[in-house]
Chain A
Amino acid sequence: AQSVAQPEDQVNVAEGNPLTVKCTYSVSGNPYLFWYVQYPNRGLQFLLKYITGDNLVKGSYGFEAEFNKSQTSFHLKKPSALVSDSALYFCAVRDTGSGAGSYQLTFGKGTKLSVIP
């Protein structure tokens, strides 16, 4: 079965500092990996994805993530955090080895990011 782990429930970072939100995954086949952000009382918004190709993917709002197959990780990063980045961040994985027609999209428990002015 596929799974996603976000080891930190909360990450605090000072405004202007780099931020990292960690994610590791487990799948049987090749993964499709996603990051989503959720602001209070809102739905999940897509940030970026890794399907294939370059291990470093860039997404919305200056975020990027690096796919590391050997460490089965897909950490979210941003060089300089903004107060407006404060939100709940979810990592998700889809196992491409789960069969035709299957779209098992599994989410981590989420990491609350607080950017301190």
Chain B
Amino acid sequence: DAGVIQSPRHEVTEMGQEVTLRCKPISGHDYLFWYRQTMMRGLELLIYFNNNVPIDDSGMPEDRFSAKMPNASFSTLKIQPSEPRDSAVYFCASTSSFAEAFFGQGTRLTVV
């Protein structure tokens, strides 16, 4: 398996634009997580899914953020409209019930 695949690796966008981050989890994993990493706040859990169903989205900072998992092999995190303070590295991770989480390489988002 190629591991958790995220795209794009880097994204630079202007304030107010819509940004969509994509994630393909490891096949067979039934949990998928979205994390955000910044120098100030470290690694924050935004939302996680179990069997494609959102379980906890309490970490989603604002209504501008939304996440979907239409099937077991794909998830998106959307920011609309984007703001400079959204600049961060966004990680997707996946796991199965009793295992460790595996992380993607991350998407570095810069909002100017």
Interface residues of A (CB under 8 A from B): 34, 36, 42-46, 49, 51, 90, 101-110
The residue that B50 contacts in the complex, of A44, A103, A110, with Cβ under 8 A, is A103
CB distance from B104 to the nearest CB of A (A): 6
In the bound assembly, the distance between CA atoms of A36 and B103 in angstroms comes to: 10
Instruction: Say what secondary structure dominates the interface of chain B.
Output: strand
In the bound assembly, the distance between CA atoms of A106 and B43 in angstroms comes to: 9
Question: Contact: B105 with A107, CB < 8 Å?
Answer: no
The residue that B45 contacts in the complex, of A46, A106, A110, with Cβ under 8 A, is A106
Question: Contact: A44 with B48, CB < 8 Å?
Answer: no
In the bound assembly, the distance between CA atoms of A45 and B100 in angstroms comes to: 10
Interface residues of B (CB under 8 A from A): 4, 31, 33, 35, 42-43, 45, 48, 50, 55-56, 91, 93, 95, 97-98, 100-106
Tell me whether A103 and B43 are in contact in the complex, defined as CB-CB below 8 angstroms, given that A34-B100, A43-B106 are known contacts. Answer: no
Contacts of B50 in A (CB 8 A): 101, 103
Contacts of A105 in B (CB 8 A): 33, 45, 101
Contacts of B56 in A (CB 8 A): 102, 104
Given contacts A46-B102, A102-B56, A110-B42, 11 further A-B contacts (CB under 8 A): A34-B101, A42-B105, A42-B106, A43-B103, A44-B43, A46-B101, A51-B98, A101-B50, A104-B56, A105-B45, A109-B42
In the bound assembly, the distance between CA atoms of A43 and B103 in angstroms comes to: 6
In the bound assembly, the distance between CA atoms of A92 and B30 in angstroms comes to: 19
Question: Contact: A44 with B42, CB < 8 Å?
Answer: no
In the bound assembly, the distance between CA atoms of A51 and B105 in angstroms comes to: 26
Q: Which of A34, A43, A104, A107 is packed against the most chain B CB atoms within 10 Å? A: A43
